[in-house]
């Protein structure tokens, strides 16, 4: 179940990536049409105003059509095959669903509590009695929730029935037609249920909004803590998306609401806490701007003397990427697996810092780095609200300094293997003969070796032991996730880094290559090369089971399947009775894979691996591998 939830969370990230750019475009349009800053040049009717209003109109596309966007984007992340067809099936099913709702309310609106459905006119910036228009269809405003439900149904139908073989005389109805046929009839009861239940849900959402806004500091802290601590699981998408783009606080989501009222906030000298009291849930970009640079500084300060230059070369661009663009994963996953307790510290500091800023009156849309924050907050609002932003910097720097010392002290005290503290043989190398051959191989495959994606894809494929060594390949937001047949064939981490990988994480046969935001392009090129090689490797969009990595590692460290007599979970422990205790690895190796402690009873040939509350899941996965 956890794996399915993680996959759903990662799939939601597919459409979300477009919102950052669209938000900046809309904010810039509002900024340049701010008469306070640009005077008469920004008055309605001027050429300047018309140009920026047109650009803003384009930027609003993503927000105005977010239901359709999630309907198309989710199947791209959820479909196991033919993702383009899955997206097509999903969007036509979503439109069908809304046509059904519109027709039902038109004919039987009184029975559902909307007797004047046909007479209600849809106008902008109004509640419209809970109605909206989607692709010209007058329907209930289910926000992204209706889109997600439809996309999940279609995704499940697509994965189960897209390849189903129908009788020859029905062959024309196979594939997408069959999926849509099933989805069409599934939408009738779903539309009926929506007409009956959604107006009640809308009332509940309004009540929940009042509760969330009135929960004050506790709600802000818990929201920010969960939004950070859950990043490794992928479940953080389920925390912020209903707030940012859904109806959890305001209809349509907090980001569109902020952008719609940005000009109003810019013109007012009233405190932001009064103008937008509910806009305190989108401050989580502050840790990217203020905390991550100090974390990088702590890594540099604790690095080995002979590796400080190499460490700074790695951390400086990563820190700048975090500060400017708000992309933190290269830093996050560099130390997450080596020292997970630091991740907890980071999450606590982030939540506390954002809550303190909220207490001082900071409000706004600050989910990105400095570029996004500036365009959507600092620049348009500086004239009347500069004092709160000065406070923001003061609080941010203070918390950054505190975080630096906490990280530095803990790294040195507990000897965490953070960047710069790895083994001395993990150095960045110049291009070698092997890498040259990889580029030549790309040319022979009919590809342009100067293509940065094919060059990296070819390099990673070879460094992973070749296509024949890969049993499964997938990706998430910034990482390639690989299962290999023989881990000994995988090249040293330094060779991956020489080919622009940020880092490599090893969990037995499961390898994670942290590539960056262009991982989809690299994955596609690797898929092409694997197909050309004739390998049986499975390329999938499915997310890796979070327990399979540790399960595989523990099996290997226990001496392999043949060395295990029996295996059970005992509270927080994985308990194994083995044939030969001498084949069991030392405690240090187990701890590399998140084991808290290892206890041995030589006379009983028993090994207890203390892993935590997920012992049951790890044992289940170990048994499935045996």
- Please state the domain extents for the chain: 249-425, 448-543, 547-625
Q: Please name which of 516, 562, 297 lies closest in space to residue 404, comparing C-alpha atoms.
A: 297
How many Å apart are CA 612 and CA 270, to the nearest integer? Answer: 50
Report, as ranges of residue numbers, the positions in the chain whose pLDDT lies below 70. Answer: 1-17, 19-20, 23, 27, 30, 34-37, 123-129, 202, 204-214, 232-238, 245-248, 251, 329-330, 333-338, 423-452, 476-478, 516-517, 533-549, 552, 625-626
**b/e 517-531 (16+ beta carbons within 10 angstroms → b):** eebebbbebbebbbe
Catalytic residue among 150, 470, 476, 482: 476
Q: Flag whether the pTM goes above 0.75.
A: no
The answer to whether 105 and 117 are in contact (CB under 8 A) is: yes
3-state helix, strand, coil in the chain (%, to 5): 65, 10, 25
Residue 402 has what pLDDT? 96
How many Å apart are CA 77 and CA 91, to the nearest integer? Answer: 14
First to last CA, the chain: 21
Residue 19 has what pLDDT? 64
Q: Give the model confidence (pLDDT) of 492-549 as tens digits.
A: 888 888 888 877 878 778 888 877 667 778 888 888 787 776 665 666 544 445 566 6
Please, how many CA atoms are within 13 Å of residue 551, restricted to the half-sphere of its CB?
A: 22
CATH number listed for the domain at residues 448-543: 3.30.1360.60
Tokens 């003397």 -> residue: 305
- 547-625, superfamily in CATH? Glucose permease domain IIB (3.30.1360.60)
Q: How far is CA 375 from CA 49, 114, 360, 379, 381, in A?
A: 18, 41, 22, 6, 10
How many Å apart are CA 201 and CA 89, to the nearest integer? Answer: 27
Indicate the helix (H) or strand (E) that contains 480.
Answer: strand 479-484
How many other C-beta atoms lie within 10 A of the C-beta of residue 417? Answer: 14
DSSP 583-617: GSPPHHHHHTTT--EEEEEGGGTEEEEE--TTHHH
How many Å apart are CA 476 and CA 196, to the nearest integer? Answer: 37
**476 catalytic residue (yes or no):** yes
Residue 16 has what pLDDT? 59
How many other C-beta atoms lie within 10 A of the C-beta of residue 16? Answer: 19
Q: How far is CA 275 from CA 208, 240, 269, 367, 514, in A?
A: 20, 22, 9, 19, 41
Catalytic residue among 570, 571, 601, 612: 570
Residue 202 has what pLDDT? 67
């Amino acid at each position: 179940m956890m794996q399915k939830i993680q996959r759903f969370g990662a799939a939601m990230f597919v459409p979300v990536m477009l919102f950052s750019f669209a938000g900046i475009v809309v904010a810039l349009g509002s900024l340049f049409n701010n008469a306070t800053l640009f005077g008469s040049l920004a008055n309605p009717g001027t050429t300047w105003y018309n140009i920026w209003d047109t650009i803003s109109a384009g930027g609003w596309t993503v927000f105005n059509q977010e239901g359709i966007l999630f309907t198309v984007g989710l199947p791209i992340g959820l479909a196991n095959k033919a993702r383009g067809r899955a997206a097509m099936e999903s969007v036509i099913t979503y439109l069908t669903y809304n046509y059904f709702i519109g027709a039902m309310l038109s004919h039987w609106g009184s029975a559902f509590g909307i007797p004047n459905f046909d007479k209600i006119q849809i106008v902008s910036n109004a509640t419209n009695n809970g109605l909206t228009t989607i692709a010209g269809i007058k329907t209930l405003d289910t926000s992204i929730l209706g889109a997600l439900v439809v996309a999940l149904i279609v995704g499940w139908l697509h994965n189960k029935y897209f390849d189903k073989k129908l009788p020859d005389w029905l062959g024309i109805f196979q594939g997408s037609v069959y999926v849509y046929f099933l989805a069409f009839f599934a939408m009738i009861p779903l539309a009926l249920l929506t007409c009956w239940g959604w107006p009640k849900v809308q009332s509940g959402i309004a009540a929940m909004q009042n509760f969330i806004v009135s929960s004050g500091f506790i709600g802000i802290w818990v929201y920010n803590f969960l939004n950070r601590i859950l990043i490794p699981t992928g479940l953080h998408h389920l925390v912020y998306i209903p707030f940012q783009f859904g109806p959890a606080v305001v209809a349509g989501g907090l980001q569109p609401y902020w952008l719609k009222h940005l000009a109003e906030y810019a013109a007012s000298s009233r405190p932001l806490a009064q103008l937008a009291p509910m806009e305190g849930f989108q401050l989580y970009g502050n840790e990217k701007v203020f905390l991550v640079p100090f974390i990088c500084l702590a890594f540099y300060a604790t690095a080995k003397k002979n590796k400080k230059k190499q460490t700074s070369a790695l951390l400086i661009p990563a820190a700048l990427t975090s500060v400017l663009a708000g992309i933190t994963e290269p830093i996050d996953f560099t130390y997450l697996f080596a020292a997970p307790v630091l991740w907890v510290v980071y999450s606590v500091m982030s939540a506390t810092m954002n809550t303190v800023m909220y207490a001082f009156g900071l409000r706004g849309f600050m989910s990105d780095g400095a570029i996004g924050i500036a365009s959507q907050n600092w620049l348009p609002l500086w004239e009347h609200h500069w004092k709160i932003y000065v406070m923001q910097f003061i609080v941010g720097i203070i918390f950054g300094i505190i975080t630096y010392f906490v990280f530095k002290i803990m790294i040195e005290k507990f000897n965490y293997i953070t960047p710069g503290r790895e083994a001395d043989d993990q150095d960045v190398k110049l291009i070698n003969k092997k890498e040259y051959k990889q580029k030549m191989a790309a040319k022979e495959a009919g590809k342009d070796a100067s293509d940065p994606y094919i060059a990296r894809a070819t390099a990673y494929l070879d460094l992973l032991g070749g296509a024949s060594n890969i049993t499964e390949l997938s990706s998430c937001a910034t990482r390639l996730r690989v299962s290999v047949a023989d881990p000994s064939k995988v090249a040293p981490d330094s060779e991956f880094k020489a080919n622009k990988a940020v880092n490599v994480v090893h969990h037995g046969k499961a390898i994670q290559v942290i590539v960056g935001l262009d991982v989809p392009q690299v994955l596609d090129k690797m898929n092409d090369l694997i197909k050309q090689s004739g390998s049986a490797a499975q390329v999938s969009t499915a997310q890796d089971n979070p327990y399979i990595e540790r399960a595989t590692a523990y099996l290997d460290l226990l001496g392999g399947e043949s060395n295990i007599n029996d295996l059970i979970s005992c509270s927080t422990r994985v308990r194994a009775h083995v044939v030969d205790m001498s084949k069991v690895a030392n405690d240090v190796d187990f701890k590399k894979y998140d084991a808290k402690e290892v206890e041995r009873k030589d006379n009983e040939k028993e090994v207890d691996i203390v892993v935590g509350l997920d012992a049951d899941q790890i044992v289940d996965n170990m048994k499935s591998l045996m």
